[in-house]
Structure 1
Amino acid sequence: MAAYTEGVPCWADALLPDVEAGKRFYGELFGWTFDEGAGPEYGRYAQAYKEGKAVAALAPKRDGRMPTVWNVYFATPDAFASARKIRDAGGRLVTEPMPVGPFGTMALAADPEGAVFGLWQGGTHEGFEKAGEPDSFCWTEVKVRDAARADAFYEDVFRFEGFDLDGVIDGFRTWSPAGAEAGPDTAVGGRELMGEGVPAELPAHFLVYFNVDDCDEAARVTRGLGGRVQSPPVDIPYGRIATLVDNQGAVFAVLQDHAD
């Protein structure tokens, strides 16, 4: 039985110009350690660990025209079937499903507005070994301009149960796995409608969140490491968040639980 239910975010990686610089940045920020990186046949993919458990990876950009970005991957029991559903729902494949040795099968896709996300069909590598805890992945959301179009796409492809947070966070819809009771308690990700104040040139995109013990400290450390704060720490009903940019330009967010 697969470790991750269909549609659950199961992995994240950053595409960077300089992986060694990325190791120094994230090693200092999150206390991550890294392996030596897979061989050239796997793109010298460097896996990150927290307390010995896999939490993410850093990959070198093969082409300077590629974006410097954090990618999120959604679990699928059949990457080829999911790819067909993506096309049928109005999306497109950026990278067709491809086996990655014994580790699994991956693909990159774009939704109808162009937001890029990954698919992962686990093999020997099923995904995160640690998530939802400090210094590990905890959430993802897609930021779009056409909410109805995005909702129809993701709820068709991954069979998500959607739940609107209007009145709590306007323009936000959470996603729960198929068969779960929709709502924040079962949510694994979500969709946010970009408002009129967002620059028109900013395309639809995913944002990857990492849990931290102290949101303000994470912002301070990011600045000290040569990164920057895109959106300063702010309280929301579910915690304290900030949007940060690493020292190579990859955007990510941090979340401090209110209980902390």
Structure 2
Amino acid sequence: MKFDKPVTGGPCWTELGTDDLEGAKRFYAELFGWRPETDPRQEAGGYTVAHIGDAAVAAITPRYQESQPVAWNVSFAVTDADATARLVEEAGGTVAVGPMDIFDVGRFSVALDPTGAAFQLWEARDFPGAGLLNAPGALGWVELATRDTSRARTFYTTIFGWSTEGSEWYTEFTVGGQEFGGMADMGDRYPAEVPAHWLPYFAVEDVDATAQAAVAAGGAVRAGPMTVPDGPRIAVLTDPQGAAFGVFRAAEEG
């Protein structure tokens, strides 16, 4: 990721929906050094913001609906959530939740792209999103896995004005000339029942040590660790509840 703070059209936040809030807080605190703070208000529903130092970097929340998977979600910054939600539908996507106000901090919506991948829209008010990006323990890359890369490319470039570049097997997304994520064809690498999805990658100082720590804390290694040709060292891990996320060596993304 080539920017260190949220920019319009780029990823600005990531949050985990889980069935074990306390377990997730312990796991990620151990893995990334996060300091979790749970909003005490009943209406906040257990929403927990993780910090590195004073910077908010991610959220951990209970699942709010039975249909919601245990998974990480990625939010993209927009200037007008309602207008973008309408554009999502015009471009063949689906608006699943909202847009709606979240206290006085912003306006929020959950959408599905035409290939089935869920993502979130965030119109900032008092809360702009992550206070730290692309640093150890913070979000540094996002990746879309889909079975229809052509349709997804058309959709996201229409919605967010992204540009694309890259190879036949991997597409990189840029906003304002700055790389922040990519897209890979799921092909036969995933079971047929696994839907298209966005995966957040967190920067770490040592990918191999982080993978070992994840396993020791009750998680698992799904892929890697491996070094991407002309790219960073990465791994895809799962937490003890099965939520997948990626890690990469800090300052080596893109």
TM-score, normalization by structure 2: 0.93
Query: Residue 75 of structure 1: CA displacement?
Result: 0.2
TM-score, normalization by structure 1: 0.91
CA distance in 1, matches of 2:40, 2:217: 26
2:141 pairs, out of 139, 142, 146, with: 139
Task: Go from structure 1 to structure 2 and tell me whether the alpha carbon gap of 1:214 and 1:41 turns closer, same or farther (over 3 Å shift).
Answer: same
Report matched runs for 1:132-171 at 5 Å: 132-163=134-165, 165-166=166-167, 170-171=168-169
Q: Does 1:194 align with 2:196?
A: no
Which residue identity does 2:193 align to in structure 1?
Answer: E
Contact conserved, 1:17 with 1:64, CA < 8 A, in 2?
A: no
User: What's 2:116 paired with?
Assistant: 114
Higher RCO by CA contacts (8 Å cutoff, separation 6 or greater): 2
Contact conserved, 1:113 with 1:144, CA < 8 A, in 2?
A: yes
Which residue identity does 1:224 align to in structure 2?
Answer: A
CA distance in 1, matches of 2:40, 2:120: 19
CA distance in 2, matches of 1:128, 1:42: 19
* RMSD, matched Cα: 1.6
Contact conserved, 1:144 with 1:204, CA < 8 A, in 2?
A: yes
Q: Does 1:213 align with 2:211?
A: no
CA deviation profile, 1:2-46 (whole Å, cap 9, x unmatched): x73321100010001111111100000000001132422122211
Q: Does 1:47 align with 2:49?
A: yes
Query: Residue 148 of structure 1: CA displacement?
Result: 1.0
Q: Does 1:74 align with 2:76?
A: yes
2:241 pairs, out of 228, 244, 248, with: 248
CA distance in 1, matches of 2:16, 2:34: 14
Stretches of 4+ aligned residues off by more than 6 angstroms: none
User: What's 1:173 paired with?
Assistant: 171
Which residue identity does 1:27 align to in structure 2?
Answer: A
User: What's 1:239 paired with?
Assistant: 232
Question: Aligned pairs, how many?
Answer: 248
CA deviation profile, 1:43-74 (whole Å, cap 9, x unmatched): 22110000121000100113444200000000
User: What's 1:100 paired with?
Assistant: 102
| 2:22 match: secondary structure | helix
Contact conserved, 2:52 with 2:137, CA < 8 A, in 1?
A: yes
CA distance in 1, matches of 2:243, 2:118: 14
